[in-house]
Structure 1
Amino acid sequence: MTLKRMDNVGIVVEDLSAAVDFFAELGLELEGRGLVEGEWAGRITGLGDQRVEIAMMRTPDGHSRIELSRFLAPQVIADHRNAPVNALGYLRVMFAVDDLDETLRRLTARGAQLVGEVVQYERSYRLCYIRGPEGILIGLAQELG
């Protein structure tokens, strides 16, 4: 059997509405929002009886998704939002954009902060990292040519 696809990347946030608004500004579409709760869900995560508000955001091409989650129970027990890019674990989500400068203007108006600087890799890409809502690390790449 072979891998069919990657369905989504999960990100835990405190302010679900602000995260949804930010990723919508980036260009993702809200696919759905709801509550996942109960013992059955806790059996998957190992957290027991849980209540989680989720929002599924879809890329415009329909192939990729981000699942934003806000845990109501149990409480969040760790905070990795401001870890540097060389920390173990989740690093970032990278998005391809048409116009990096315009995307940065829109996202900084929503509170995003540039990490480092915008760089050009050979004649292929312009790239940067930003910190989005709650310090989430996001990569942006504009293909050149």
Structure 2
Amino acid sequence: MAVKIVAGGGIVSNDKNEVLFQLRRGKWDLPKGKLEEGEKIEDCAVREVEEETGLKNIQLGELVGVTTHYYKEKGKDIEKETHWFAMKVSGSQQLVPQLEEDITELKWVAEKDASNYLNNSFKNIEEILQKYYDKQKQQR
């Protein structure tokens, strides 16, 4: 039976409505991480984005959706359930990739260019980003 991990993540946008992608282990991804004991999922999502990107003063938005994916780690089957939140940052901030988590690059990406990055990403990232862009269009 798979070990279940709950995680929080962010679809972070800047003043130009670009979304922050991160290059981790050769794939483009979005910042996310494991929920700590006693932590609220919203706090987890913001904390993980801060840790993985170096961003500060993150404005937490609404829940975009929840994705589930499966992988193996150290011989164990893992089921990871990630709660994705829309987030916003303002102004010019320095991006600092968290090298300890194998994040080697951070990049702001316009919606029109997103497919170039999603070609080298994961299916659940593509799905949650599409959901995010669809919600953005409805709100305009």
Band of TM-score, shorter chain: 0.3 to 0.5
The two structures have a TM-score, normalised by structure 1, of 0.33
The two structures have a TM-score, normalised by structure 2, of 0.33
Q: Which has the higher contact order (CA 8 A, sep 6+)?
A: 2
Larger radius of gyration: 1
Relative to its length, the structure with more helix (as a share) is 2
